[in-house]
Amino acid sequence: MAVVHRSVLPIRSQEDIVRVRQATRESAVAQGFSLVDQTKIVTAASELARNTLDYGGGGEVEITRLSDPPRRGVRLVFTDKGPGIADVGQALADGFTSGRGLGLGLGGARRLSNEFSIESRVGEGTQVTIARWR
Amino acid sequence: MEKIPILKMGRFLLVTIQVDMHDQLAMQLQENLTDRIVAVRARGVLIDISSLEVVDSFIGRMISNIAAMARVLDAETVVVGIQPAVAITLVELGLSLEGVRTALDVDRGMAMLQQQLAGQR
């Protein structure tokens, strides 16, 4: 599996969430994703970027374009140094929210992705990785 | 400061969302729209989102909120022009926009609002 392109964007403000959506779209288009696949990964990126800002107190996302012939993919890694999630299983359940959202963020992002993983340590931070392939 | 324009057409308000909104802008639209409904005594709100390439849970919630607030203020809301890829993604995300009426385009949305208003007379 080869890395075609990699970039890192900060997530410190609401405008940054918009930038993450745009950068994710750009990568999905560059990888030849269909419009539906583009929309799914951009929407997942938006949910996770908002989580990083609202719950993680800000952080960053690494956007990587991958080549694994014949597959091409986009991987997003969201990292924050926030309070962490005590019960990841609960956080993944639809309808669970500790803030102003609908509680669809994590579970929704998982459904919109082909690969999903989350690592969180209380007091240290959270890292969420998703990937979508064509 | 960017702002999403709200047009008045007879007894209806028309909003066309053409920018990728950040959260604060979406919240502001919600407020401005409810203010305008009261100010002009609007009976219907038509929201055109055909230019929106992404509707995430935040924007989805804003749309549901607008519809609910408008209803309390005696105005109907119709959302028009949801792109097919957005519709597919919304459902997979788990958002069904419950309580929000939808139409394929502005013409049909307007017809829906007019019918609704005529039916109440």
Digitized pLDDT (tens) for each residue of chain A, 134 residues in all: 899 999 999 999 999 999 999 999 999 999 999 999 999 999 999 999 999 999 999 999 999 999 999 999 999 999 999 999 888 888 888 766 655 555 568 989 999 999 999 999 999 999 999 999 99
Q: Give the per-residue pLDDT at A24.
A: 98
Q: What percent of chain B is modeled with pLDDT above 90?
A: 82
**In whole angstroms, what is the distance from residue B108 CA to residue B56 CA?**
25
Residues A43 and B59 sit within 8 Å (Cβ to Cβ): no
Peptide bond preceding A70 in cis form (omega within 30 of 0): yes
Residue with tokens 């696949």: A37
- Identify from B25, B28, B51, B54 which residue to disrupt to test chain A contact, counting A C-beta atoms within 10 A and taking the largest count: B54
**In whole angstroms, what is the distance from residue B54 CA to residue B86 CA?**
6
**Which ipTM value was assigned to this complex?**
0.90
Among all residues of chain B, which has the CA nearest to that of A102?
Answer: B57
Phi, psi of B2 (to 5 degrees): -75, 155
Tell me the torsion sign for CA atoms A24, A29, A33, A39: positive
A19 touches chain B (CB under 8 A): no
Across the interface, whether the CB atoms of A21 and B88 are under 8 A apart is answered: no
Residues A44 and A109 sit within 8 Å (Cβ to Cβ): yes
Q: Which residues of B touch A112 (CB under 8 A)?
A: 89, 92-93
Q: How many Cβ atoms sit within 10 Å of the Cβ of residue B9?
A: 12
Two tokens at A16? 């940054």
Among all residues of chain B, which has the CA nearest to that of A13?
Answer: B22
Beta bridge partners of A75: A64, A131
* Inter-CA distances, A20 with A17, A48, A86, B51, Å: 5, 10, 26, 19
Residue type at position A35: L
CATH architecture of B6-120: 2-Layer Sandwich (3.30)
Q: Can you tell me the mean pLDDT for B99-115?
A: 95
**In whole angstroms, what is the distance from residue B55 CA to residue B59 CA?**
6
CATH architecture of A2-133: 2-Layer Sandwich (3.30)
Across the interface, whether the CB atoms of B93 and A104 are under 8 A apart is answered: yes
Q: Give the per-residue pLDDT at A96.
A: 64
Residue type at position A9: L
pLDDT averaged over every residue in chain B: 93
Q: Give the per-residue pLDDT at A100.
A: 55
Phi, psi of B43 (to 5 degrees): -105, -10
Q: Give the per-residue pLDDT at B1.
A: 59
Q: Can you tell me the mean pLDDT for B65-93?
A: 95
Q: Give the per-residue pLDDT at A128.
A: 97
Q: Provide the residue count of chain A.
A: 134
> CA B16, B14, B50 angle in degrees (round to 5)?
30
Residue A95, min C-alpha distance to chain B (Å): 10
Among all residues of chain A, which has the CA nearest to that of B93?
Answer: A108
Residue type at position A36: V
* Inter-CA distances, B17 with A125, A130, B112, Å: 35, 29, 20
> What is the DSSP secondary structure assignment for residue B75, as one 8-state letter?
-
Q: Provide the residue count of chain B.
A: 121
Two tokens at B82? 């949801």
Q: Which of A73-77, B17-21, B102-106 has the lowest mean pLDDT?
A: B17-21
- Identify from A102, A111, A116, A132 which residue to disrupt to test chain B contact, counting B C-beta atoms within 10 A and taking the largest count: A102
Within 8 A by CB and 6+ apart from A36, the residues are B84, B85, B88, B89
Q: Which residues of B touch A15 (CB under 8 A)?
A: 22
Two tokens at B21? 């909104």
B23 touches chain A (CB under 8 A): yes
Q: Can you tell me the mean pLDDT for B110-119?
A: 93
Q: Give the per-residue pLDDT at B70.
A: 96
Q: Which residues of A touch B95 (CB under 8 A)?
A: 102, 104, 108
